[in-house]
Copies of this chain bind each other. A is one copy, B any other.
Amino acid sequence: MNKETLSTIAKRTGYSVTTVSRVISGNAASHRIPENTAKAIMDEVKRCNYTPSAIAKSLRTSKSGTIGLILPSVANPYFAEIAGAVIAEAKAKGYFTIVLDTMEQKKNMEECARILYGRQVEGMIVIPSGDDPSLLERLDSHLPIVLMDRSYDYSTLSYVTTNNYEGGLMGTRLLIKSGHTRIACIQGEKEMPVSERVKGYRDAMREAGLEENISISGNEFSAHCGYLETALLLSSEDRPTAIFALSSTILLGAMKAIKEHQLMIPDDIALLSFDDNLYMDYTTPVITRIRQPLEDMAKLAVKILFGRIENTLTASSQLRLSPSLITGESHKTCHSPTEPSVLQGN
């Protein structure tokens, strides 16, 4: 069985390529092609197991039925979850998704964007790396681009992110309301999405008249970094009574350090995490955390993208979605509980 094309089928059925094409792409009716002609052709198509060349079709129509998704690392469960959601949403629109991994490098990101452009994707969703939007902005004038999870300052590119500032604020306020005063925050990386969380933390501490205590080490979200920073915090003179871990991996490191210091959560030290993860429901105690609305973000990003693909949406949309609080037991305090009933109900 060699390669099948429209013309091999045309030859065998005795009709022209034109007619065969029309039948196969479902336009038989609008071209007054009678049922039995169509049936003869479809029978042959099935018999020889013909699959149209999507590539030739794209070349001709300049529609590829494809969107691109560029992200820093598929192996990272957080991005993987986003990828899953985007793929599902796009599929629901009849599109499929090419996923490209930049390994967190701006150079790769730009190469990926070019590759997708060359492959005629009809739009792309990008979780950007680096802080220079210029290439993406240039591409955006040719095909719609929507950023996700991260955005650039001072760029007109559309984006959908979590309101990270709000998350930082919300989390810190919860800890304060729970009676903590010495609250440390472990940052992990310095750049865009996290720095907003830190701002939220800062403002919450300020508004309560409390002293900030921010740990930055390395420039990554590693569990090891969380471990080291926590160990340092715990051995300080007036150690904090609560730690706000700005990512789920930092949380893991923090938990390990706390265990090694033989402290109990939350009695000796309270914990709050950014990001949600299955295991957090299964730890002792259940971790209180700020969950980013991944599903909604993906849905909206795809929706905006298709709005622009179909030209029903022209203006740039910049959206920040509110994170939500998942209340566990890890954030409470035993030092000076304030309004515990309110907290429970949260």
Residues of A participating in the B interface, judged by any CB pair closer than 8 Å: 1, 49, 51-56, 58-59, 64, 73-77, 80-81, 83-85, 87-88, 91, 96-101, 103, 114-115, 117-120, 138, 141-142, 223, 249, 252-253, 255-256, 259, 277-279, 281-284
Contact = CB atoms under 8 A, between A and B. Distances in A.
A53 B252 contact: no
Contacts of A283: 283
A99 to B, nearest CB: 4
A98 B97 CA distance: 8
Contacts of A114: 51
21 contacts: A1-B141, A53-B59, A53-B118, A55-B120, A56-B59, A73-B84, A74-B87, A75-B80, A76-B80, A76-B84, A77-B80, A80-B80, A83-B99, A88-B103, A91-B101, A96-B115, A98-B99, A223-B281, A256-B281, A256-B282, A279-B279
B80 A74 contact: yes
A59 B64 CA distance: 14
A86 B259 CA distance: 36
Nearest to A280: B279
A232 to B, nearest CB: 18
A259 B281 CA distance: 12
A138 B53 contact: no
A1 B96 CA distance: 28
A84 B88 contact: no
A52 B118 contact: yes
Interface centre among A85, A118, A119, A252 (most CB of B within 10 A): A119
A118 B74 contact: no
B74 A99 contact: yes
Given A115-B96, A120-B55, A278-B249, A81 B85 contact: no
Contacts of A88: 101, 103
A53 B120 contact: yes
A267 B50 CA distance: 62
